[in-house]
Amino acid sequence: MAEFTPITTQEQFEAAIADRLKRERESQAKKYGDYDALKQKTAEQEQQIAALTKEASDAAKKYAGYDKTVAELNAKIKGYETDSVKTRIARETGIPYELAGRLTGETEDDIRKDAEGLAKLLGRNENPASPLRDTETGEPDGVTAGLKDLLHKMKGD
């Protein structure tokens, strides 16, 4: 081994560790050489995340009321379908249309049972007869009787 010589000046110290510092800088440059590129890439990704977050927030605000609107429209459709079924069943059972809205039930069978019960209460039968006209009863109404009298007077009867 070489004989040890103490370092007494700053220049001697710097010369002794210059090689070691050079190796350390090279290893750090290898290890962190792409730091600036990674920093730039991270900044770009953060900008992209911010833009997408804003976009998602705007979309959420835009479509926030759609679920409520869809639920309301579905409720309306169900109401229309129920009214249609009630009207059809009222016609089939001989219940006046004015009473069709009073029928209750969630399913068609429930509504039909209610309609049949109401028809029994109203005294409706399965095939209601058409009402007779006044002329078929044999009793003329006031206008018809007046015209007949006028005709007889004109003939001289």
**Chain segment 81-124, per-residue pLDDT in tens:** 999 999 999 999 888 888 888 899 888 999 999 999 988 888 75
pLDDT band at 130 (very low <50, low <70, confident <90, very high): very low
Contacts of 52 (CB under 8 A, 6+ apart): none
pTM equals 0.44
Q: What is the pLDDT of residue 140?
A: 58
User: What whole-number percentage of the chain has pLDDT above 70?
Assistant: 87
Higher-scoring residue by pLDDT: 147, 139: 147
Q: What is the pLDDT of residue 111?
A: 92
Contacts of 134 (CB under 8 A, 6+ apart): 140, 141, 144
Q: What is the pLDDT of residue 31?
A: 84
Say if CB 94 and CB 125 are below 8 A apart: yes
The terminus-to-terminus CA distance of the chain in angstroms comes to 166
Q: By three-state DSSP, how is residue 123 classified?
A: coil
Q: Look-up: residue for tokens 């009473």?
A: 99
pLDDT at 135 over 60: no
Higher-scoring residue by pLDDT: 31, 88: 88
Higher-scoring residue by pLDDT: 15, 111: 111
pLDDT band at 6 (very low <50, low <70, confident <90, very high): confident
Say if CB 94 and CB 117 are below 8 A apart: no
pLDDT at 131 over 60: no
| Alpha carbon 75 to chain centroid, angstroms | 10
User: What whole-number percentage of the chain has pLDDT above 90?
Assistant: 33
Q: What is the pLDDT of residue 101?
A: 87
